[in-house]
Amino acid sequence: MTGPGPAPGDNRVFHVEGEPVPRDADAIEGDALPVPGGQLPVVGPAVRFLDNRTGLVTFGRSALEKVFPDHWTFLLGEIAAFSFIVLLITGTYLTLFFRPDGTTTIYTGPYAPLDGTKMSAAFSSVLALSFSVEGGLLARQAHHWAALLFIAAIVTHLTRIFLTGAFRRPRELNWVIGFTLLLLALAEGITGYSLPDDLLSGTGLRIIYSIIMAIPFLGPWIASLLFGGLFPTTAIISRLFIVHVLLLPGALIGLISVHLLFVWIQKHTQYKIPGATEHNVIGLSLWPGQAFRSIGAFLLTAAVIALLGGLFEINPVWIYGPYVPYAAAVPAQPDYYVGWLEGLVRMAPNWQLTLFGITILPEPFIPGLVVPGVLFTVLWIWPFIEAFITGDRREHNLLDWPWEAPWRAATGAAFATIFLVLLLEGANDVLAAWLLIPVENLTQFFRIMVFAGPVIAWIVTYRLARARLEHGTKPIEPRGGIALRRNATGGFEEVHDRAAVDAALGGGGPK
Amino acid sequence: MRPLIFEEESGIVPPRPQRASRPARRVPFSARLARSVAGLAVLAALGGVALLGLAGSGFAAGQSAGSGASAAASGVSVQSGADLSAGRELYMQTCAACHGVQGQGVPRQGPTLQGQGAAGTAFALYTGRMPFPENGVPSQPRDKPILTQAQIQLLVNYVAHIAPGPTIPPVDTSGADIAAGRQLFINNCAACHGPDAAGGAIGGPGQQNGFPGVFIAPSLHSATAQTIGEAVVTGPGPMPKFNFPLKQIDEIAAYIKYLQSAPSPGGDALGGLGPVPEGYVAVAIGLVLILLFARLISRRPLE
Amino acid sequence: MTAGMERDPDRAYGGPRTVRPTTTTERRAEVFVGLLFIATILAALGLIVSYIIGANTQVDGVLLAVAFAGLGGAIVVWVQYLMHTPTMIEARHPIQPNPAADVSPGQVAMREAESGFTRRRMLIGMLFASVGGLVTAIAVPLFSLGPLPGRALFVTKWKKGSRVVDVNGNLVHASQIPINGIMTVFPEGAPGDAMSQTVLLNVGPGLLQLPADRASWAPQGFVAYSKLCTHAGCPVGLFRATEHDLMCPCHQSTFDVLDGAQVTFGPAPRPLPQLPIQLQPDGTFVALGGFPEPVGPAFWNQTSGGGA
């Protein structure tokens, strides 16, 4: 990291490759990048006060000048982070009313169909915060929608990183961290889904318990320790709660910090736009351009979540009712981000390996743990797998367009197809009722498609990418506008006309 | 507690080799093919995620066609003095071709009516499942009955005479305990009809005999209390039969009526189909909106 | 708080900004930004009013969305049209180890020698052993998280002579279950028990094709199976009467009721265990014994345990 350094010009030279560093001929006087609010009466003295005691302003100034590529796909990760912030805010509000208590109470509240019904205190508190707390239902629904968006944004972000090869050296570790963040987010989703102790979440927990129990030799013990005994237990809600509100968010915040630190140190990748080289970053400075765009993106993300939370009912637990172990309903699904796992469990054949009267591999073990484990491990360490296959271990700061690495795009499409087929199989009863096809036939179709689909997707994507690559790409228009060039004294000079901009950007015309 | 009397129980169940030969709700292959092709076309056009959501909305729209018009049926009871000969004449014109002159059924045409009684007949006629139009789909619920109420009354009386079975339960939901009804509903009905009574796919009989049929537990969102009672006591098609006391039938019907009219405080209920349409909305509306914003943030649209 | 500080002749860190005339686009953007701010102010006021009068979730959600979108939109338009945000270029230095830091093998070896790690192998071994021992000792209390399952996975509350009751604990009478009827039942004293949940079905006489040794377990077409799916433990509550099969709503495992609950479809690896029942002269049922095998999903030593 660029820590507090001796002088701004020393460690952050803004100049174009290969050009002599201009003397301060046309430099704007002073410093074109003021400390925020430098003209305001309060902020300036306050900043000086801080600087005199910490020396941080040198770092702060260089931080404010950090350049962010100006492309909408670079906002995907930010959107995930903003969804996470909304989750923290709404989640904190919910903890003020939710009681993580699995003990039984009798409901007496405004929701008549449950009047006098036995339920856990946890479920009762969810009803109370939904019906009796002003804004409670909105907060709960916004929290749930934000969770769905959080994971959707992470997956979209990872897809962009994958297709453009942004995970290549030196960023392999940040891919691993990012993928770990996805796993933590999934765990957050599953634990959160299970907290209200309604019929749907209890059924989900029952299935999770059964899958854990299927671990060879250790399963029953692990399941018993995790759940606090034989399912259903009263302990599980309070245990999931502490995992959901403390351990996982803590891990997420820690890893997000490391993730961002790595981005900071390694700087952003960039697309092959005119002027972009392996040795520069072209874009907007953090202050003020990128910072305000990010704030805008955060507020707009919050707006979308608020809109969904207000207009679309999500997880109406009062309809499902409290969990009872002897009832289940169709359609019974987890949230979509676990839908692919549900599909795997639904389509698996009923094989299990039994030797000498001992079930070595109970049925749910392979579809429930082994296959997801293999799929995720491959994706998790993908940068190293790709480097091993291609032998390419050079640093890459310029991104591939997806078609420039046809086999990578094809592999990504194949993975996406596997998850998509599994997701559809996980919704097979809903699809069956819509298409009027028996679920059994759909399952058989998806059993074939989960193998055939990725092959087809691979071939089709590969050929499309090859075609795009061979027939050439549309020439990219030269960048217009002005560019700012940092000179040796830390000042900036403006470059105005297009030809000059392109020249200033390193002479890179359309590639 | 007014226990229902089942006048005749034997003979409802077909012998085992024939089981599944007459699913209650069967859709011709052509119709299913058309809908499937339409569905796959949408899949190709909009991508798989879109399919999930359309499944949600399409399901909600397509399957909630219950028995709206049989509201007229409320309070109908069998008049023992009704004109049996008029009923017989109507039966011969409308039903006998498939169900036989004595209601004994006709091989490859229609199942026996034995054991249907007044309740089963009223259910089939008031929900528009019968008689089905030429080239139509048998046992498909329709928006309104095909026959007039007077005609149905005649047929109900006549079939109850030749094929005795459960009487129409006099369902009365006023004052019934909906909390008790909710528990009965979750324990007995929700496994097929769903917790929101939005209906569900419960597989197809095609596994054993290759018949390309499909079973749908229909949405109850437009069912009347009367129809619910008739279905509970007769178990149409693959539905099991229940011998609930009348009080419990009242409670179940009261809870389903509650679900029909209950406000959804959280906003649009998305068909009452749970996480599948929710996931679709999250991606198709939420993510798409945010990506659109991201695109706008990174470009100056006016220049 | 800056009292006493010497005034820096440079005053602020920033210098003069270039001033240029406002364009038409910028004027329009100014108006638009202003309107968006007004929208946020109105929506915020609306939210306060809504809180006071207790409006509904939809109103709150839309107002909140408008408030956020107004502010966010205003900031975005501002930064795009009214702020000077030129394209900038930053040099990227190759990421490499600091050459000043000596990590040469010789240097590292010398440090190791100083630490004593290389010479005192015995102590190193003991170091690892002590750390391992401490970690293990700290981890052992994890076993107080829950009782080990023991025999609990192999038994239910059903035993010989258990009377059959419904979910409310009332005795079940044969007349309550018509042909093609189904009811969820429990052993007397344990209504609602997760492990003991059982479906009691009436398929009518003469249809059941049970194995010979179980012929007496299903009097007059009444047959009882564990309701816990042998796949993942969901309650198998979906009875398709004309098909005489039970389907699990979770993963669609299908069991043939007439044929001893053999699996005809889906991921369940084994049939639902059958409960031997007897019809009493008064029309109630009793169990002739517990389930002959463990109920519910598979686990590794399931088959070695034996029944209740």
Region A179-189: mean pLDDT is 97
> What is the CB neighbour count within 10 angstroms for residue A390?
12
Q: Residue C89 above 70 pLDDT?
A: yes
The answer to whether B166 and B6 have CB atoms below 8 angstroms apart is yes
- Chain B contact for C51 (CB, 8 A cutoff): no
d(CA C53, CA C132) in angstroms, rounded, equals: 62
Q: Please state, in angstroms and as integers, the Cα–Cα distance from residue A243 to each residue in A96, A122, A175, following that order.
A: 17, 16, 24
The answer to whether C270 and C263 have CB atoms below 8 angstroms apart is yes
Question: Are B215 and C240 within 8 A, CB to CB?
Answer: yes
DSSP C170: P
Q: Which two tokens stand for residue B262?
A: 């209950």
Residue B74: exposure state from Cβ atoms within 10 A (0-12, 13-18, ≥19): middle
Region B195-210: mean pLDDT is 72
- Chain A contact for C79 (CB, 8 A cutoff): yes
Ranges of each domain in chain C: 24-82, 164-304
Looking at beta carbons, which residues of chain C come within 8 Å of B14? 242
- Chain B contact for C2 (CB, 8 A cutoff): no
Looking at beta carbons, which residues of chain B come within 8 Å of C175? 243
- Ordered structural domains, chain B, with CATH: 64-202+218-261 (1.10.760.10)
Closest-CA residue of C relative to A276 is C89
pLDDT of residue A378: 97
Nearest to A279 among C10, C92, C267 (CB): C92
User: In C, residues 168-187, which contact B (CB 8 Å cutoff)?
Assistant: 175-182, 184
**Non-local CB neighbours of A109 within 8 Å, separated by 6+ positions:** A115, A124, A127, A128, A131, A132
d(CA A328, CA B267) in angstroms, rounded, equals: 25
Q: Which two tokens stand for residue A459?
A: 């071939």
Closest-CA residue of C relative to B205 is C243
pLDDT of residue A185: 98
Region A21-27: mean pLDDT is 38
What secondary structure, in 3-state letters, does C31-70 show? HHHHHHHHHHHHHHHHHHHHHHHCCCHHHHHHHHHHHHHH
Closest-CA residue of C relative to B208 is C264
Q: Which of B4, B216, B232, B300 to mutate to test the interface with C (most CBs of C within 10 A)?
A: B300
Closest-CA residue of A relative to B297 is A293
d(CA A340, CA A427) in angstroms, rounded, equals: 9
HSE-up (13 A, CA, CB side) for residue A393: 4
Looking at beta carbons, which residues of chain B come within 8 Å of C249? 191-192, 200
d(CA C294, CA C308) in angstroms, rounded, equals: 8
Q: Per residue in A64-118, pLDDT tens?
A: 888 888 889 999 999 999 999 999 999 999 999 999 999 999 999 899 999 999 9
- List all chains that touch chain C, counting a touch as 3 or more CB pairs closer than 8 Å: A, B
The answer to whether A117 and A104 have CB atoms below 8 angstroms apart is no
Lowest mean pLDDT among B127-141, B216-230, C3-17: C3-17
The whole-angstrom distance between C138's CA and the closest CA on chain B is: 41
pLDDT of residue A123: 97
Q: Per residue in C141-161, pLDDT tens?
A: 888 888 888 788 888 999 999
What secondary structure, in 3-state letters, does A192-254 show? HHHCCCEHHHHHHHHHHHHHHHCCCCCHHHHHHHHHCCCCCCCHHHHHHHHHHHHHHHHHHHH
Q: Which two tokens stand for residue C2?
A: 């800056």
- Chain B contact for C305 (CB, 8 A cutoff): no
Beta bridge partners of A312: B268
**Non-local CB neighbours of B112 within 8 Å, separated by 6+ positions:** B11, B99, B100, B103, B104, B105, B163
- Chain C contact for B210 (CB, 8 A cutoff): no
Calculate what percentage of chain A has a pLDDT beyond 90: 65
d(CA C75, CA C64) in angstroms, rounded, equals: 17
**Non-local CB neighbours of B242 within 8 Å, separated by 6+ positions:** B188, B232, B233, B235, C178, C181
Q: Which of C250, C253, C293 to mutate to test the interface with A (most CBs of A within 10 A)?
A: C250
- Chain B contact for C111 (CB, 8 A cutoff): no
Looking at beta carbons, which residues of chain C come within 8 Å of A494? 86
The answer to whether C223 and C246 have CB atoms below 8 angstroms apart is no
What are residue A386's phi and psi, to 5 degrees?
A: -65, -40
The answer to whether B130 and B90 have CB atoms below 8 angstroms apart is no
Closest-CA residue of A relative to C71 is A299
**Non-local CB neighbours of A497 within 8 Å, separated by 6+ positions:** none
Question: Are A49 and C149 within 8 A, CB to CB?
Answer: no
Which has the closest alpha carbon to A438: B138, B139, B238?
Answer: B238
d(CA A65, CA A227) in angstroms, rounded, equals: 51
Q: Per residue in A27-53, pLDDT tens?
A: 333 334 444 444 556 777 888 888 888
d(CA C257, CA C244) in angstroms, rounded, equals: 6
Closest-CA residue of B relative to C55 is B265
d(CA A343, CA A423) in angstroms, rounded, equals: 6
ipTM: 0.86
H or E, element range at A156: helix A136-164
Which has the closest alpha carbon to C227: C219, C235, C218, C215?
Answer: C235
Q: Per residue in A213-229, pLDDT tens?
A: 999 989 999 999 999 99
The two counts, helices (H) then strands (E), for chain A are: 21, 8
Q: Per residue in B155-166, pLDDT tens?
A: 998 998 888 888
Nearest to B241 among C181, C235, C252 (CB): C181
Q: Per residue in A148-169, pLDDT tens?
A: 999 999 999 999 999 999 999 8
Question: Are C237 and A230 within 8 A, CB to CB?
Answer: no
Question: Are B274 and A200 within 8 A, CB to CB?
Answer: yes
The two counts, helices (H) then strands (E), for chain C are: 4, 12
**Non-local CB neighbours of B230 within 8 Å, separated by 6+ positions:** B119, B120, B122, B123, B126, B166, B168, B169
- Chain B contact for C65 (CB, 8 A cutoff): no
pLDDT of residue A357: 77
- Chain A contact for C165 (CB, 8 A cutoff): no
Q: How far is CA B288 from the centre of its chain?
A: 36
Looking at beta carbons, which residues of chain A come within 8 Å of C14? 30-31, 33-35, 38-39
Calculate what percentage of chain C has a pLDDT beyond 90: 60
Cis amide linkage into residue A232, ω under 30° from 0: yes
d(CA B207, CA B210) in angstroms, rounded, equals: 6
Question: Are B199 and A148 within 8 A, CB to CB?
Answer: no
Ranges of each domain in chain A: 12-17+36-64, 72-329+349-385, 402-471, 473-511
The whole-angstrom distance between B238's CA and the closest CA on chain C is: 5
- Chain B contact for A321 (CB, 8 A cutoff): yes
Calculate what percentage of chain B has a pLDDT beyond 70: 66
User: In A, residues 245-274, which contact B (CB 8 Å cutoff)?
Assistant: none
Q: Residue B25 above 60 pLDDT?
A: no
Using DSSP, state whether B159 is helix, strand or coil: helix
Q: Per residue in B102-148, pLDDT tens?
A: 888 887 777 888 888 899 999 988 888 888 766 666 666 777 788 88
Lowest mean pLDDT among B29-43, C71-85, C211-225: B29-43
Q: Categorize the per-residue pLDDT at A470 as very low, low, confident or very high, splitting at 50, 70 and 90.
A: confident
Q: What is the mean pLDDT of chain A?
A: 85
At the top level of CATH, the class of C164-304 is mainly beta
Using DSSP, state whether B52 is helix, strand or coil: helix
Region B275-302: mean pLDDT is 88
Q: Residue A10 above 70 pLDDT?
A: no
pLDDT of residue A114: 95
CATH 1.20.810.10 matches A72-329+349-385? yes
Strands C254-256 and C262-265, sheet pairing: antiparallel
d(CA A347, CA A471) in angstroms, rounded, equals: 41
Looking at beta carbons, which residues of chain A come within 8 Å of C196? none
Q: Which of A330, A419, A456 to mutate to test the interface with B (most CBs of B within 10 A)?
A: A330
pLDDT greater at residue C142 or residue A475: C142
d(CA A368, CA B138) in angstroms, rounded, equals: 41
Question: Are A430 and B59 within 8 A, CB to CB?
Answer: yes
Q: Please state, in angstroms and as integers, the Cα–Cα distance from residue A469 to each residue in A161, A462, A477, B232, C291, following that order.
A: 20, 10, 19, 64, 66
